Amino acid sequence: MTLAATKTKAEQALSQNFEAVASRLPGGRAIAEARKAAIGTFAALGLPHRRIEEWKYTDLRSALKEALPPAVGDDAPATARDLDRALEDLAGLDAHRLVFVDGAYRSELSTAGVPKGVKFTALAAALAKSADRAGEGLLRESAPGRESAPGHEAVIALNTAFMSDGAVIQIAGGAKLDKPLLLVFARNGREGRLVTTRNIIEAGAGAQGTVIEAYVTLDGAAAGQANALSQVVVGDGAQLDHAMCTLAGAAGSHLATWMAALGSQAVYRAFQLTAATGLARNNLFATFKGQHSKLDISGCFLGRASEHIDTTLVVDHAVPACESRELFKGVLTDRARSVFQGKVVVRPDAQKTDGKQMARVLMLSEDAEFDSKPELEIHADDVVCGHGSTSAEIDADMLFYMMSRGIPLPEARALLIESFVGEAIDKLPSEAVRTAFAGIAKRRLANLTG
């Protein structure tokens, strides 16, 4: 006999909230049907929980006690000064800025125009204007396949059901962006809301560019929940640098999903910085579709108080002769907890695969916790693959050495910690972007060690 699982208060509320706002969400008939099917999928699956191995350390069913009302049609006021304050060092970056406030595109806060060779459309407008068949195409790439982790289908389904807006970016083949595209997703509502966004980023054959996603909370905004998904396609011979900064607030929860597909001879460099967020789950799924491509995924996470930061990635080597590198650094203090789950899959025909993965965490408190589960699933015999994971305190010998050279204890500790996370930040290829992310990290590290 099979017993149906009892729905939690949050799971029931999510289904009820969808019924309340479905008619106000953008899109034609096909999109509406896709949304309806997605909420049905979620209703059948429920929130991921600890009995699903990939969600063992981040039990959403227990963690999400309530489901906030969706942010649909909210029009909270925001100014450029508010955004600059929230963006911190990213505010000074020379970039084309596209701004979304509480899940809605704000043209008056965005940079006028986009670089030559780039086509930008707000997702809400694209869904509203597209024919049914074209609208279905916007959603097709989000269907979970082998590269997805079990249990994540529910998170994707919720994104499909509730997505209100986002950026559709197409970089033309051969185009080279003069400066980064900065996608700003700001929370400013005075009442807690669920903000659901989706980005579609396509780099055509031979294109080169940088896209940055920044998730921030403006001063005075209420704590909220977010579900953000980015579909990324890197065309043959294209080079795409993709970075994300998440500062969602100590009481906020943020579910982020990146799903990337790489063509032949493509280069995709991804980086994520997560800090000052109560609950964060970052999912990265990358699949090699063409040979002789390179993937570099890196990031750093900084946790304090009782913050929970989970990074889960799956790299699918589906074709031969590709290279992947993953490096994540974390710093934890107080009762903060971080999770790293990294899986590299090498399919039977993916000979000449070169994959390496490493996660390292610096523990500043005896009460902090780090759970790590690196995995290799190899079905080919001509490969070079490896993984590792470490956690440790600050090196006492190195600290003593620096103090013996006249450096005060607080400054010596700060320098060692900055150097530790700097290895991951240095993976960012652009000096300007690297400097901005390093500045944000340094400020957050001061809060951790102060």
pLDDT tens track for 343-402: 999 999 999 999 999 999 999 999 999 999 999 999 999 999 999 999 999 999 999 999
Residue-wise burial string across 66-75, b where 16 or more C-beta atoms lie within 10 A, e elsewhere = ebbbbbbebe
Model confidence over 224-260: pLDDT tens digits?
999 999 999 999 999 999 999 999 999 999 999 999 9
Average pLDDT over residues 155-174: 96
Percent of the chain with pLDDT over 70: 94
User: What does the DSSP 8-state code read for residue 432?
Assistant: H
Q: 138 pLDDT band (50/70/90 cuts)?
A: low
Nearest Cα residue to 309 out of 363, 255, 356: 255
pLDDT tens-digit series, residues 78-134: 999 999 999 999 999 999 999 999 999 999 999 988 889 999 999 999 998 865 554
Pairing of β 208-217 and β 353-363: unpaired
- Pick from 218, 210, 168, 216: which is nearest to 189 by CA? 218
User: pLDDT tens digit string along 259-289?
Assistant: 999 999 999 999 999 999 999 999 999 999 9
Q: What are phi and psi of 20, to 5 degrees?
A: -75, -30
- The pLDDT value recorded for residue 3 is 43
pTM of the model: 0.95
